[in-house]
């Protein structure tokens, strides 16, 4: 059973917004650094954003900085990605990923993440 389930994807117009959600179904969510990654059609997997286990540190890829906001709710075992000012190049399959690292810092190295969801599709088009 996959412990991470994403939701909230869909079709948005350029300049629009979407909010992605991811729920972690196992015990100990507060010990995990969480990230979002995406895969555009015909391209490799790209790290997008991450948040530390206690939410005190966030990081973003340059391509989304200033437009996307990551957050988490440890009481609900949820992580979110608010996406504003969407561009067609934001189109892709968005994955939620977890790295068990209590008090660990955010890493953009995707192989560090042990748990992955199945992804939710985001399409930005007019």
Question: Using 50, 70 and 90 to split pLDDT, how confident is the model at 104?
Answer: confident
50 within 8 A of 68, measured Cβ to Cβ:
no
What is the distance between the alpha carbons of residues 115 and 126, in angstroms, rounded to a whole number?
Answer: 34
* 3-54 confidence digits (pLDDT tens): 899 999 999 999 999 999 999 998 899 999 999 999 999 999 999 999 999 9
d(CA 97, CA 25) in angstroms, rounded, equals: 13
> pLDDT tens digit string along 55-94?
999 999 999 999 999 999 999 999 999 999 999 999 999 9
pLDDT digits (tens, 9 = 90+) for 47-65: 999 999 999 999 999 999 9
Task: Classify 34 as helix, strand or coil.
Answer: strand
Phi first, then psi, for residue 67 (nearest 5°) are -115, -30
Which pairing describes strands 115-116 and 45-51: parallel, antiparallel, or unpaired?
unpaired
Token couple for 120: 């939710």
Q: Above pLDDT 90, what percent of the chain? A: 92
């Amino acid at each position: 059973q996959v412990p991470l389930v994403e939701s909230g994807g869909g079709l948005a117009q350029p300049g629009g917004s979407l909010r992605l959600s991811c729920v972690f179904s196992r015990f100990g969510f507060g010990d995990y650094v969480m990230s979002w990654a995406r895969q555009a059609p015909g391209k490799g997997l790209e790290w997008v954003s991450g948040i530390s286990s206690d939410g005190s540190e966030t990081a973003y890829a340059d391509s989304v900085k200033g437009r996307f906001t990551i957050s988490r709710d440890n009481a609900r075992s949820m992580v979110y990605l608010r996406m504003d000012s969407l561009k067609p190049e934001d189109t892709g399959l968005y994955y939620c990923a977890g790295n068990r690292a209590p008090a660990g810092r955010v890493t953009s190295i995707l192989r560090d993440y042990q748990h992955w969801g199945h992804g939710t599709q985001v399409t930005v088009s007019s």
